[in-house]
Amino acid sequence: MRRMVAETRVHPADLILPAFVREGIDAPVPIEAMPGVVQHTRETLRKAAVEAVEAGVSGIMLFGVPEDAKKDAAGTAGTDPDGILQVALRDVRSEVGDDLVIMSDLCLDEFTDHGHCGVLDADGRVDNDATLERYAEMAQVQADAGAHVLGPSGMMDGQVGVVRDALDQTGHEDVSILAYTAKYSSAFYGPFREAVGSSLQGDRKTYQQDPANLRESLRELALDLEEGADMVMVKPAGPYLDVLARVADAVDVPVSAYQISGEYAMVEAAAEKGWIDRDKAILETLTGIKRAGADTILTYWAVEAARALALR
Ligand code: PBG
C-alpha cells in the first residue's frame, strides 16, 4: 500500500553519474575518501558508461584529471583538443552514442596549477572576464569532442551567456547548457578535491556562494535563464533542499541537484562503521532530493541506485 500511494518516486532515468578520467594511468585508481569511486582509465571509463546505460541511468558527467606536468596557470590542457577530457568525451561518445546524455564539466580548476576555476590577474585574484574567454574556448572543444550538454561549474558571472554564444557561433546550436546556478562554497567538496588531484590552496569564496544566502540563488537563477540555460542545478543537494525547492518552484526548465562527494562520503563512512543502514540511507537521500523538487540527480551512487530501483 505504501508503494502504491507513494508521492515521490525515484526512477533510474532521473540519475546522472559523475565520473572521473585520469590521464597517464593504466589501472583505475581508488579515491580514498570516496570508497567505491575511482579515477578511471580511458578504457574503464568506456566500460563504466556501458554499465550506466545498462542500468538505465540517463546521463554521465565527465571530469578530466590531467597529468600534473600538464597543469599551468591558464589551464591549457582544458582547451587542448587532445586533452584528457576531450579524448574521454570522444571515447564515451563512440562507445555509447546517444544512449546516454554525455555531459562535460566546463571549468578550469582541474587544469590550472593554482587550482582555481579561472585564470588569475596580476594580484593573484581570479579574473572573471579573462576566464570567460577561456570558457568560450572550452565550450567549443568540448562540443567538438561530442558532449551533448556542457556544465559550466566555475561560477563566473556571465559564463552561461558566453558559453551559449560560443556554441552558437561554432555550429553547436544543439548542445545544451546545464547551468550550475546555485553553487555554494561548501566544506562537502573535500573528497572531490582528492578525486581530481586539486592543486587548490585557499578557497573559492570569491566566486562560490555563501551558504547563508538563499535570495542570491534566485538572482543567479534569473541571470542564468536570461543568458540561455537549458537546465539549472543546485549544488550541494542535501544541505540545500530549501534552495532546491525554491528554484524548482520558480522555473519551467528541468532542475538538477548534485549530491556531492562529501554527501557520499558521509553515508559510506557511517556505513563502514556499522552506524547506518547504507542501502536504505542512499535511497532516502535520493528520495528527499527528488521530493524537494529535483527532476534529475547527479550522484556517485547512480548505477547502484538505478539497479536497486529497478527491482522495486
Ligand atoms: C569545480 C567542481 C567542484 C565539484 C564539481 N565541479 C568542486 C569545487 O568547487 O571544488 C564538486 C563535486 C563534488 O564534490 O562531488 N569544477
Is the shortest distance between the CB of 193 and ligand 1 below 6 Å? Answer: yes
How many CB atoms within 10 Å of residue 143? 24
Q: What is the pLDDT of residue 67?
A: 96
| Structural Rg of the chain based on CA atoms | 18
Please give the number of the atom of ligand 1 that sits closest to the Cα of 180. 6
Cβ atoms of 174 and 150 closer than 8 Å: no
Using a 6 Å cutoff on CB, does residue 70 contact ligand 1?
Answer: no
**For the whole model, what pTM was predicted?**
0.96
Q: Is 2-310 in CATH node 2.40.50.60?
A: no
Cα–Cα distances in angstroms (integers) from residue 307 to residues 102, 146, 226, 264, in the given order: 20, 27, 37, 18
For residue 142, how far is its CA from the centre of ligand 1 (angstroms)?
18
Catalytic residue selected from 70, 235, 273, 280: 235
From residue 260, how far is each of 16, 93, 115, 298 by CA, in Å?
12, 25, 19, 8
Q: Would you say the CB of residue 109 lies under 6 angstroms from ligand 1?
A: yes
DSSP percent split of the chain into helix, strand, coil, nearest 5 = 45, 20, 40
pLDDT of res. 6: 96
Nearest atom in ligand 1 to 262's CA:
14
Position 111 scores a pLDDT of 96
Look at residue 268 in the predicted model and tell me its pLDDT.
98
Cell of 212: 547563508
Strands 59-65 and 101-106: parallel
Strand partners, 2: none
Residue in 47, 70, 71, 183 annotated catalytic = 183
Average pLDDT per consecutive 10 residues, the chain (312 residues; last block may be shorter): 96 98 97 97 98 98 97 96 98 98 97 95 95 98 98 96 98 98 95 88 90 97 98 98 98 98 98 98 98 98 96 78
Give nearest CA residue, ligand 1 atom 6: 153
Domain borders along the chain are 2-310
Instruction: Report how far ligand 1's centroid is from the alpha carbon of 65 (Å).
Output: 13
183 is an active site residue = yes
Q: How close are the terminal C-alpha atoms of the chain, in Å? A: 13
pLDDT at residue number 247: 98
